[in-house]
Amino acid sequence: MQKRHIITICGVLGSGKSTAAKRVSAALGYPHFSAGDFMREMAKERGISLAELGPLAESDPEIDKEIDRRQKNYMDTHDNFVIDSRLGWYFAPDSFKVFLSLDNQTSAERVFADLNSKNSARFGETVTQVQSIEDLKKKQADRLRSENARYKEYYDIDDMFDLDHFDLIIDTKINNPDAVEKLILEGYKKWQETN
């Protein structure tokens, strides 16, 4: 398989996917995209908010499928970019595939802290309205089960977080954003240089 100049970044909630993708794209001079960009585009076309699109997608599988089609079409027709996306590794198997790992407790603590800050909108409706970290851990587990069930039905993917899908795995509990950026850039360079 020929390697393309694409970096796909996947990871659990709170692992720093967006931060890593933005930093790496800036360092390389590549554009940065998020799967959420395609959702926002669809919401705008429909004249509704992103928060309103979420519940519609739960009852209408065609919304998820259309967002995935847009993402895959972009990835098939462009090069030299970084994207943070749960299924980026699947839609671009010829990309450098990065997974940011984080234990459940730290993930919940980070997301809970962000939900109580100005960043709360970026996690979407599925994790809002939580009363405690334990409540959030349950909602995160429910969301993961729901997404894995959909991806199994749509694409026959058993586990989107199976580490065998990825070229580089980074634990963001023990690596700060500077270290994560450095590891991705070094890994990408080595990956590009090997056959």
Q: What is the pLDDT of residue 125?
A: 43
pLDDT tens column, 20-35: 999 999 999 999 999 8
Which CATH superfamily includes the segment(s) 6-193?
P-loop containing nucleotide triphosphate hydrolases (3.40.50.300)
Least confident range of 3-17, 43-57, 114-128, 135-149: 114-128
pLDDT tens column, 52-89: 887 787 788 898 889 999 999 999 999 999 999 999 99
Q: In which band, very low, low, confident or very high, does the pLDDT at 122 lie, cut at 50, 70 and 90?
A: very low
Which run of H or of E encompasses 120?
none
Q: What is the pLDDT of residue 130?
A: 72
Q: In which band, very low, low, confident or very high, does the pLDDT at 124 lie, cut at 50, 70 and 90?
A: very low
Q: What is the pLDDT of residue 129?
A: 64
Mean pLDDT, rounded, for 168-188: 98
Quote the pTM value.
0.87
42-to-39, 58, 103, 129, 144 alpha-carbon distances in Å: 5, 15, 32, 25, 23
CA 176, 178, 184 angle in degrees (round to 5)?
100
Q: What is the pLDDT of residue 192?
A: 94
Q: Measure the N-to-C terminal CA separation of the chain; round to a whole number of Å.
A: 9
With a cut of 80, say whether residue 1 has pLDDT above it.
no
With a cut of 60, say whether residue 118 has pLDDT above it.
no
**Ranges of H-type helices in 33-170:** 35-46, 50-59, 61-77, 88-91, 104-115, 133-155
With a cut of 70, say whether residue 126 has pLDDT above it.
no
Length in residues, the chain: 195
Report domain extents, the chain: 6-193
Q: What is the pLDDT of residue 174?
A: 97
